Amino acid sequence: MHRIAAKFVPRLLTDDQKQNRVDVSQELLDRANDDDNFLKNIITGDETWVYGYDVETKVQSSQWISKTSPRPKKSRQVSSHVKVMLTVFFDSEGVVHYEFLPQGWTVNKEYYLEFMQRLREAVRKKRPDAWRENRWMLQHDNAPSHSSFLVRDFLAKHETTVLPQPPYSPDLAPADFFLFPTLKSTLKGRRFESTETMKTNSKAFQKCFRTLKERWQQCIQSRGEYLEGDKAE
């Protein structure tokens, strides 16, 4: 016997939820295997909070010392109250559109509908071939503002293909398992005095679709369990 800490997961999944993760992963994996351009046509994204100051991880704050040197000490700090909501959508080529939520606003169905309108315009300008051929596909999670009838009706009227995303699955969402952790890692330990400064310094976006097929495959093999060793938010 040995003692081990429990792994924190977004949710304790039911058998039905695990099966749904498997079914969606299998559907998307099959489409990716049948079409070499499938992954290139996906535009995905989500919202996240960006803080004026976010504490460093233990690894980031570590220091090189000699064997005889005392262990360095640091005062405990917490994330600041200054924060701004970032919404960003991207594809395999990079960021397509991002916005910072105005202070005092919330991401409700009305705001998200307007964001979708601006996202479509960004696709038209930045991905003209995908726009002209109507081959770009949207993938977002099932948050109430995303799945509202208002938004679904708008996307249906404009013949926008929406790919499924299993609920409670940040390990299968590129924004959660790659973009946001990468973005926030570069910001940890840096202090910004205002939201305007944060907006200027938090544009280090990176593309991520290299491992998405592998994650779908791993989800199928694990019968819907969360991926081991995953650092998704």
The residues, ordered by sequence, that sit 6+ positions from 147 with a Cβ below 8 Å of its Cβ are none
Report yes or no on 112 lying in a domain: yes
Report yes or no on 66 lying in a domain: no
Dump pLDDT digits (tens) for 47-89: 988 775 444 444 444 555 566 666 665 555 444 556 788 899 9
How many structural domains compose the chain? 1
Report yes or no on 173 lying in a domain: yes
CATH number, position 156: 3.30.420.10
Beta bridge partners of 95: 90
Dump pLDDT digits (tens) for 129-180: 999 999 999 999 999 999 999 999 999 999 999 999 999 999 999 888 877 8
Report yes or no on 67 lying in a domain: no
Report yes or no on 69 lying in a domain: no
Report yes or no on 233 lying in a domain: no
User: Can you give the pTM of this predicted structure?
Assistant: 0.77
Residue 185 structural domain: 15-56+77-221
Report yes or no on 98 lying in a domain: yes
Report yes or no on 70 lying in a domain: no
